[in-house]
Amino acid sequence: MGTAFDHTTLGQRVVFGTGAAVENTVAAVLRLGAERVLLIAGDSATATADAVAAQVPIAVRIREVVQHVPEADAAAAADRARAADCDAIVSIGGGSATGLAKAVALRLGIPVIAVPTTFAGSEATDVWGITDAERKTTGTDPLALPRTVVYDADLLAGLPGDLAVASGLNAMAHAIDSLWAPRADPINRALATEGMAALILGLRALRAAPADRDARELMLYGTYLASVAFASAGSGLHHRICHVLGGAFGLPHAPTHAVMLRYVVAFNAPASPDAAARISAAFAGAPAASALFAFEEELAAPRSLAELGLAQDDIAHAATLTLAAVPASNPRPVTLEDLERLLHAAWAGAPFERGRP
């Protein structure tokens, strides 16, 4: 059979303008005709949020944003927005702020204008996540897809270097996991491949010179492409593992992705020649997995799951939880022993030769 696929492109407006976040956000609110805005922005986005609030009608403002969207926070935010009859949401911040906005949008059916300040990429997906009693539930819904994304590389000028690296590797994970995810197709593979190349260049430049504005722009470009690919392709083995580590064991989102990615690539790349070739091409022809190990070393990325707080005794349970979620599309069959080996290597931060699962 020849090539056959069924691809959906999500509809979203993207406004990219360095130094223009406030102006572009205000214009996006006006364009939606919103008159009672719910503004969500944590501490790191206070100045931008204040400037937006001075120019658009804010009915409710939420300043506390925590990771993984606790159900109680989502319900409380939705109640406040409903009581104030909010007609749009502006979220300024990382994936946690975007996530809270999505949770309210789902409940109220009102549009989100997302203004990202990390490379998490949630702004470009229709994926939502809620955590209740230590269990993280995710799903997709058109209502969760922000109507407009406002990118401004200046908003990331204060992102601490280690966080920028971890977050950028979270974006890399969107690109790479898309290559073998359940709905991988030629369109999302093309987006992932271009996104990955931009992120590699951007991360190197950003690590060398944190003030480099062009590098931050390149990173946001790569972040967006990688997330569009991920939203289209669905979550592969890497995301299934990280979902368990974050949801059931409370590990921090971006650093967990940063640690796990190289081990998943070492596991999957030999069974996926197309993915291996794309990753290798992005690293100037070096073999995919060893190149990624070297790249993360060069970036001084988070090294091990142990340093992120996973107890060694939890590995068996994490492997069991993950096994049930392994996608049938994975290029290599995955056993419980495989997952345990993979998690042990990542837990210890084993180098490539010893960490190869």
Q: Cβ distance 46 to 39 under 8 Å? A: no
Residues 6+ apart with CB under 8 A from 195: 171, 174, 175, 221, 222, 223, 224, 225, 226, 228, 229
Residues 157-216 that bind ligand NAD (CB under 6 A): 158-159, 163, 167, 170
Nearer to ligand NAD, 203 or 289 (CB): 203
Report the nearest approach of ligand NAD to the CB of residue 3 (Å).
Answer: 28
Report 29-88 residues binding ligand NAD (CB under 6 A). Answer: 42-44, 67-68
Could you count the other beta carbons within 10 Å of the beta carbon of residue 284? 8
3-class secondary structure for 229-287? HHHHHCCCHHHHHHHHHHHHHCCCHHHHHHHHHHHHHHHHHHHCHHHHHHHHHHCCCCC
Dist CA 136 CA 134 (whole Å): 6
Of residues 68, 257, 237, the one with CA closest to residue 173: 257
Q: Does 105 bind ligand NAD (CB under 6 A)?
A: no
Query: Out of 12, 24, 48, 118, which residue is the one contacting ligand NAD (CB under 6 A)?
Result: 118
Q: Considering only the stretches 48-56, 90-98, 180-188, 275-283, report the one whose residues sit in contact with ligand NAD under the rule CB under 6 A.
A: 90-98
Which of 115, 179 has the CB closer to ligand NAD?
115
Q: Which stretch binds ligand NAD (CB under 6 A): 11-19, 24-32, 96-104, 258-266?
A: 96-104
- Interface with ligand NAD, residue 113, by CB under 6 A: no
Please say which residue, 43 or 307, places its beta carbon nearer to ligand NAD: 43
Measured between its terminal Cα atoms, the distance across the chain in Å is 33
Close Cβ partners of 19 (under 8 Å, ≥ 6 residues apart): 152, 154
Q: Give the residue, chosen from 12, 48, 78, 95, that forms a contact with ligand NAD under the rule CB under 6 A.
A: 95
- Give the binding range for ligand NAD (CB under 6 A) out of 1-9, 29-37, 123-131, 264-272: 123-131
Q: Considering beta carbons, is residue 4 or 133 the nearer one to ligand NAD?
A: 133
What is the nearest approach in angstroms of ligand NAD to the Cβ of residue 123?
A: 8
Sheet holding 58-62, edge to edge: 13-16, 148-151, 112-116, 88-93, 37-41, 58-62
Q: Which of 24, 25, 91, 125 binds ligand NAD (CB under 6 A)?
A: 125
Is 28 in a helix, a strand, or coil?
helix
* Residue number, 96 or 193, with CB nearest to ligand NAD: 96
- Please tell me the distance from the alpha carbon of residue 159 to that of residue 334, in angstroms, as a whole number: 37
Name which position in 253, 262, 303, 341 contacts ligand NAD (CB under 6 A): 253
HEC-encoded secondary structure of 257-269? HHHHHHHHHHHHH
Closer of 89 and 127 to ligand NAD (Cβ): 127
> C-beta of 40: minimal distance to ligand NAD in Å?
11
Cβ atoms of 218 and 202 closer than 8 Å: yes
Binding of ligand NAD by 111 (CB under 6 A): no
What residues line the site for ligand NAD (CB under 6 A)? 42-44, 67-68, 93-97, 99, 117-118, 120-122, 125, 127, 129, 155-156, 158-159, 163, 167, 170, 253-254
